[in-house]
Amino acid sequence: MINFFRKIRKKLADDNKPLKYMRYAIGEITLILIGIILALQLNSWNDNRMVKAESQELLDRLIVDLERDLLYLDAQEKEYIIWLQQIDHILYQVLDNDSIKISKLEQFIAGRMSMNFLKVDQITFTEMFNSGKKLKFNNGQIIREIKEYYQYAEIELEKLNSDNEIFYKWSLETYGDEFSIIHRLATGRNRDFIDWSWRNDPTRKEYRHFESINIYYKIAIEENLKIIHTLKDKSKQLIKRMSEEFD
């Protein structure tokens, strides 16, 4: 079509008609400008389409990461709840009860007497915000919400894991004798020769130490569960927000 109009304008110019030649020249320039604008718009449309498609792909991957983290956090939560039940059994059944014979490991030990190292998957998040990739979302607030979630997870888990490590080292240093008993129970060595007479005597050092370590252990587990619950709630909300982004 453009070539057709060019032929008409060229013919008018060839007839040596200055005014019509000027119109031809102006028309030629206009066509060139229109072509440039159309090309720019097409390139911009393609770029936007590619950026939006890549943004959606990253969001889809991030949702998969968060759903995997939810499964992981669920497993951690279930394990910690079991440990709490074991601690309650020790505090309210084993201690102060002569009728219970300590013959099974689960009667005397809660968990591993240490915390798990908690984490979340940040691979896709790092790629989204540290690689310089362009992102395009319908609502720019989603970027802020994603960053806030992972910043919260990084800060809180770093503090929590550090506290867990400190608790474990402190427990070993403070209650070494009790850990020795636990080790013997765990390995099944000399179980029948352990002196259990302190279990019904709150004045005994062994009683106070063992009660204290289980109380502190319970507090530590409850602190871990608080972070787990908060992360689960935040991740569920974020999954919902991201799922709505491209609906």
Asked if residues 238 and 66 have their Cβ atoms less than 8 Å apart, the reply is yes
Q: Where are the domains of the chain?
A: 56-245
Contact in structure between 201 and 85 (CB atoms under 8 Å) = no
Closest-CA residue to 145 (of 33, 14, 30, 234): 234
Q: How far apart are CA 235 and CA 229, in angstroms?
A: 10
Task: Report how far Cα 98 is from the mean position of its chain's Cα atoms.
Answer: 46
φ and ψ at 132, to 5 degrees? 80, 10
What are the start-end ranges of the H helices in the chain? 2-14, 18-89, 123-130, 141-174, 176-187, 205-245
Q: How far, in Å, CA of 124 to CA of 131, rounded?
A: 10
Give the residues of the chain that fall short of pLDDT 50.
1-2, 4-5, 105-106, 186
| Secondary structure (3-state) at 203 | coil
Residue 172's pLDDT is what?
76
Per-residue pLDDT at 119: 93
Contact 160, 118 (CB under 8 A): yes
Instruction: Determine the pLDDT at residue 105.
Output: 47
Rounded Cα–Cα distance for residues 135 and 11 (Å): 51
| One-character DSSP codes across 99-149 | T----SGGGT--TTSS--------HHHHHHHHS------SSTHHHHHHHHH
Which of 69, 245, 246 is closest to 145 using CA atoms? 245
Q: What's at 57, amino acid-wise?
A: E
Q: What is the C-alpha to C-alpha distance for residues 198 and 98, in angstroms, rounded to an integer?
A: 10
CB 191 within 8 Å of CB 185: yes
Nearest partner of 222 among 110, 68, 67, judged by Cα: 110
Alpha carbon 247 to its chain centroid, in Å, reads 23
C-alpha–C-alpha distance, residues 242 and 60, integer Å: 8
Measured CA to CA in angstroms, residue 110 lies from 26, 56, 168, 213, 225 at distances of 88, 45, 13, 11, 16
